């Protein structure tokens, strides 16, 4: 390793690892008032959308939406595929959380919850042949609440609801409204308090990225490198990683291979996408690529990396409030023909407590099925790039930006590579 490479490596360690020492977790400096402000704002956003969609109640099963509404977090990965806790916001009444039995105390002190009850489970895993009985009891309780607080309005929205539950509520005279648009639109505009929480998640993510960089030496496996991000996130109060997208060398192309026990070799490209759900439940969705052993890039690596960075910078400059997705597409960076067959499917997407609406496809894939709409102040957008060609490695880059009243502001600062 050259003296310059050593200095660059040490500079990244000093800048992005914990200044108190890499052996200690990062401790959030965010004051309680900021968290309380975000909680109030988020619950208000759901209520605003409920009024716009004229629903008497919003039923939530998605753990990310429950976290957004109440800051209530309990076994989020497990409950994302096991519907055993849920919540409802009543337009003319209280907010209610049905918690997994024995976990009610986990919500002590959360100001947005008016009533905590024990959840009624009716999935086959927990009830077996008695599931039909459970769903009837569940539906009776939900329907009674909607009638009590609905003022005659029988419309309700739900974000995720399995067939038996939906049919049972409709049999009780209630009218279902798809809740995905409601919740996605509500979450898309961030408050200043949310941005402060998101900045901290990104800070933790970049400390994890610095750990990956520090250990990007020949002999490390893909899984070992990926574990450094898990480690930093877990010890600093984060939640989970949505994917396992870190690969090196030939494993980077085609993209979407998950990390394996492949050993990284000197000079190979290491590419990754964090997809990290960090502290406060917010997502840091950042991508970087660099060479194993901090070697100088080959001509091919340099050319591909340069194209990826050009795409990022070009599309980043386009982000501004009021720009339609169609206009963004029309003005976006055009991928060269040699790279089209190895492209990423999208150019930009929203992000908050997870990847969110909107999604703007890459120009090659932008057709009549692409969504309509415009970029709005308060959105947080990830600008993406993936560039590769036949026989090459893939370079994956991604940055996370806040849409301001006049343009955009990058929220991450982990540096790009010198080309």
Report whether pLDDT(21) > 70.
no
- Return the pLDDT at 13: 58
Instruction: Summarize the confidence of residues 362-373 as an average pLDDT.
Output: 97
How far is residue 331's CA from residue 60's CA, in Å, rounded to a whole number? Answer: 38
Task: Find the length of the chain.
Answer: 419
Structure tokens at 415: 């540096």
Structure tokens at 349: 């997407």
Under DSSP, is residue 410 helix (H, G, I), strand (E, B) or coil?
A: strand
Rg of the chain in Å (alpha carbons): 23
Q: What percent of the chain has pLDDT over 70?
A: 95
Structure tokens at 254: 């085609």
Residue of 20, 356, 6 whose CA lies nearest to 187 = 356
| Among 122-126, 230-234, 285-289, 366-370, the least confident range | 122-126
Q: Specify whether the CB–CB gap between 285 and 245 falls below 8 A.
A: no
Report whether pLDDT(1) > 70.
no
Q: Specify whether the CB–CB gap between 60 and 47 falls below 8 A.
A: no
Report whether pLDDT(6) > 60.
no
Interval 400-413: pLDDT, tens: 999 999 999 999 99
Q: Strand pairing of 57-60 and 246-248?
A: unpaired
How far is residue 146's CA from residue 166's CA, in Å, rounded to a whole number? Answer: 14
Average pLDDT over the chain, rounded to an integer:
94
Q: Specify whether the CB–CB gap between 222 and 239 falls below 8 A.
A: no
Q: Specify whether the CB–CB gap between 231 and 240 falls below 8 A.
A: no
What are the helix and strand counts (H, E) for the chain?
Answer: 13, 17
Greater pLDDT, 40 or 2: 40
pLDDT band with cut points at 50, 70 and 90 for residue 419: confident
Interval 109-118: pLDDT, tens: 999 999 999 9
- Return the pLDDT at 12: 64
Instruction: Summarize the confidence of residues 168-179 as an average pLDDT.
Output: 97
Interval 120-172: pLDDT, tens: 999 899 899 998 999 999 999 999 999 999 999 999 999 999 999 999 999 99
- Return the pLDDT at 68: 98
Report whether pLDDT(88) > 70.
yes
Q: What angle do CA 311, 271, 416 make, to 5 degrees?
A: 50
Instruction: Summarize the confidence of residues 355-382 as an average pLDDT.
Output: 97
pLDDT band with cut points at 50, 70 and 90 for residue 7: very low
Residue of 347, 384, 333, 344 whose CA lies nearest to 252 = 344
Report whether pLDDT(284) > 80.
yes
Q: How far is CA 148 from the centre of its chain?
A: 36
How far is residue 177's CA from residue 117's CA, in Å, rounded to a whole number? Answer: 24
Residue of 386, 395, 217 whose CA lies nearest to 301 = 395
Residue 374, phi then psi, degrees to nearest 5: -140, 155
Domains and CATH numbers, the chain: 3-29+193-410 (3.90.230.10), 32-188 (3.40.350.10)
- Return the pLDDT at 234: 97
Interval 222-255: pLDDT, tens: 999 999 999 999 999 999 999 999 999 999 999 9
Mark out the alpha helices in 150-218 (DSSP H runs): 163-171, 180-188, 192-214
Match 């407590």 to its residue by tokens. Answer: 353
Report whether pLDDT(4) > 50.
no
- Return the pLDDT at 23: 74
Interval 309-334: pLDDT, tens: 999 999 999 999 999 999 999 999 99
How far is residue 403's CA from residue 377's CA, in Å, rounded to a whole number? Answer: 5
- Return the pLDDT at 183: 98
How far is residue 252's CA from residue 111's CA, in Å, rounded to a whole number? Answer: 46
E strands present in 260-405: 269-273, 276-277, 283-284, 287-291, 346-351, 355-361, 380-387, 395-403
How far is residue 332's CA from residue 315's CA, in Å, rounded to a whole number? Answer: 6
Residue 368's CB: how many other CB atoms inside 10 A? 4
Interval 23-66: pLDDT, tens: 788 999 999 999 999 999 999 999 999 999 999 999 999 999 99
Mind spelling out the 3-state secondary structure of 279-308?
Answer: HHHCEECCEEEEEHHHCCCCHHHHHHHHHH
Report whether pLDDT(179) > 90.
yes
Residue of 177, 168, 159 whose CA lies nearest to 55 = 177
DSSP state of 151: T
How far is residue 247's CA from residue 37's CA, in Å, rounded to a whole number? Answer: 39
Instruction: Summarize the confidence of residues 372-392 as an average pLDDT.
Output: 98
């Amino acid at each position: 390793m050259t003296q310059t490479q050593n200095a660059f490596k040490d500079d990244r360690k000093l800048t992005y690892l914990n200044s108190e020492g890499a052996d200690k977790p990062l401790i959030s400096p965010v004051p309680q008032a900021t968290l309380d402000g975000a909680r109030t704002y988020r619950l208000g956003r759901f209520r605003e959308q409920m009024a716009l969609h004229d629903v008497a109640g919003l039923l939530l099963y998605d753990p990310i939406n429950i976290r957004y509404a109440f800051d209530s977090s309990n076994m989020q990965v497990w409950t994302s595929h096991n519907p055993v806790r849920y919540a409802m916001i009543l337009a003319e009444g209280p907010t209610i959380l049905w918690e997994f039995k024995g976990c009610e105390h986990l919500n002590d002190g959360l100001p947005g919850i008016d009533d905590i009850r024990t959840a009624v489970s009716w999935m086959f895993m927990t009830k077996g042949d008695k599931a039909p009985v459970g769903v009837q009891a569940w539906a009776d309780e939900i329907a009674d609440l909607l009638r009590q607080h609905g003022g005659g309005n029988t419309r309700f929205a739900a974000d995720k609801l399995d067939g038996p539950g939906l049919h049972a509520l409709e049999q009780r005279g209630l009218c279902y409204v798809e809740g995905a648009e409601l919740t996605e639109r509500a979450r898309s505009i961030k408050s200043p308090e949310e941005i402060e929480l998101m900045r901290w998640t990104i800070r933790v993510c970049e400390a994890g990225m610095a750990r990956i960089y520090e250990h990007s030496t020949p002999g490390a496996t893909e899984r070992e490198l990926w574990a450094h991000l898990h480690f930093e996130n877990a010890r600093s109060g984060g939640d989970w990683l949505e994917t396992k997208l870190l690969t090196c060398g030939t494993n980077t192309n085609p993209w979407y291979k998950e990390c394996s026990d492949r050993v990284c070799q000197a000079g190979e490209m290491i590419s990754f996408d964090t997809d990290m759900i960090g502290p406060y439940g917010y997502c840091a969705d950042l991508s970087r690529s660099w060479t194993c052993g901090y070697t100088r890039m080959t001509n091919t690596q340099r050319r591909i990396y340069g194209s990826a960075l050009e795409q990022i910078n070009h599309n980043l400059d386009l982000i501004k409030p009021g720009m339609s997705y169609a206009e963004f597409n029309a003005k976006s960076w055009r991928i060269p023909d040699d790279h089209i067959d190895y492209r990423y499917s999208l150019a930009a997407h929203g992000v908050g407590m997870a990847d969110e609406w909107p999604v703007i496809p890459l120009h090659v894939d932008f057709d009549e099925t692409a969504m309509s709409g415009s970029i709005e102040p308060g959105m947080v957008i990830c600008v993406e790039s993936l560039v590769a060609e036949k026989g090459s490695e893939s370079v994956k880059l991604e940055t996370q930006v806040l849409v301001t009243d006049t343009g955009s502001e990058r929220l991450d600062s982990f540096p790009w590579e010198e080309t």
